């Protein structure tokens, strides 16, 4: 299938693999999902790229709170996560509920590459070539029942493999949700790979959600349950701090985070002290997704 959902991005825009893996080092000591205070809102031209980081940097910095809040904790501890075998429980308002083996899902899906921009609520961004399949294909395989309005997601919870869940950073397990029309949109994918390689455990192996017009924390990692429901599901960061993290979490440069501006962003790989670039509405995917929110006040429905 032709991939038209790449905006004007080209291979030249892809964030270097090293910089992608090393983004937490570049962000310094910021706590992911909580972010940086006092970020400058001055916009500028796009910054120049950086040379790739070393292998040690690539594999030592990441974010996955179930393995700890330190930048290097996921790389230290995520190898303990058992991903074979892996099943995804699909339940709720579906015709064929059950535990779907990951390998069976892969056999039934068409895997393709999607070149997407990724925007974090912390005000940094990158461009990533994901490998994966449209979430709509998986939901259609399970059979969405009439009356379903939302899709809820749940991350694996393995206290014996995930040392971070011993601490009440969030209300475990990590949960997220989308409106059904958002979930069925062809931009929304379940990613199984990055840069043509299997997703590393610290990055959400073996299966994670990617919704490119929303802030990155919506793209839940290591999914073990998908539930179709007629009720808006709870989401982890909204439960933790509803004032700062809404259900929709659309990239909207006109709505600041209570503690910093969202008007600009730093492109990872462009240098720690580079000038900032303007953030685009819906992360640059406005033409494709704005119709989903017709009639809504996006300064209130955040």
Question: What is the Cα–Cα distance from 302 to 294, expressed in whole angstroms?
Answer: 14
- Is 65 annotated as contributing to ligand binding? yes
Provide the Cα torsion 47, 31, 155, 57; round to 10°: 60
Cβ-contact 194, 20 below 8 angstroms: yes
Residue 66, annotated as binding a ligand: yes
Those residues whose C-beta lies under 8 Å from the C-beta of residue 196, and which sit 6 or more positions away, are 113, 129, 131
- Residue 250 annotated as binding site: no
Residue 63 assigned ligand-binding role: no
Q: Is 221 annotated as a binding residue?
A: yes
CA dihedral 12, 29, 167, 150 (to 10 degrees): -40
Distance CA 102, CA 132 (A): 13
What the block records as the tokens of 169 is 């950073």
87 annotated among ligand-binding-site residues: no
23 is in an annotated binding site: no
44 assigned to a ligand binding site: no
The annotation status of 62 as a binding-site residue, yes or no, is yes
d(CA 298, CA 302): 6
Nearest CA-CA partner of 220 in 129, 140, 283, 152: 152
Q: Is 51 annotated as a binding residue?
A: no
Residue ranges of the binding site for Mo-molybdopterin: 62, 65-66, 120, 155, 203, 208, 219-221
Residue ranges of the binding site: 62, 65-66, 120, 155, 203, 208, 219-221
């Amino acid at each position: 299938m032709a991939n038209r959902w790449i905006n004007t991005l080209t291979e030249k825009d892809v964030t270097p693999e090293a910089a992608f893996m090393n983004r937490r080092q570049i962000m310094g000591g910021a706590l992911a999902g909580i972010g940086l205070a006092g970020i400058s809102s001055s916009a500028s031209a796009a910054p120049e790229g950086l040379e790739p980081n070393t292998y040690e940097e690539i594999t030592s910095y990441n974010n996955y709170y179930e393995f700890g809040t330190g930048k290097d904790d996921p790389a230290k501890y995520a190898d303990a996560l058992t991903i074979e075998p892996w099943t995804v429980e699909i339940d709720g308002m579906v015709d064929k509920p059950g535990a779907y083996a990951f390998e069976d899902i892969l056999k039934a899906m068409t895997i393709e590459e999607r070149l997407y921009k990724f925007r974090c609520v912390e005000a940094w961004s990158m461009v990533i070539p994901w490998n994966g399949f449209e979430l709509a294909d998986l939901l259609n395989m399970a059979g969405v029942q009439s009356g379903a309005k939302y899709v809820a997601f749940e991350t694996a919870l393995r206290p014996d493999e995930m040392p971070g869940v011993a601490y009440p950073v969030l209300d475990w397990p990590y949960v997220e949700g989308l409106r059904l029309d958002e979930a069925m949109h062809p931009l929304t994918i379940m990613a199984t790979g990055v840069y043509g390689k299997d997703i590393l455990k610290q990055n959400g192996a073996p299966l994670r959600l990617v919704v490119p017009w929303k802030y990155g924390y919506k793209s839940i990692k290591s999914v073990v349950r998908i539930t179709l429901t007629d009720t808006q599901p709870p989401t982890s960061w909204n439960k933790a701090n509803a004032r700062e993290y809404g259900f929709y979490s659309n990239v909207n440069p006109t709505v600041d985070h209570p503690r910093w501006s969202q008007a600009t962003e730093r492109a990872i790989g462009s240098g720690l002290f580079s000038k900032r670039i303007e953030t685009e509405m819906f992360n640059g995917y406005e033409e494709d997704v704005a119709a989903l929110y017709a009639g809504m006040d996006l300064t209130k429905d955040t």
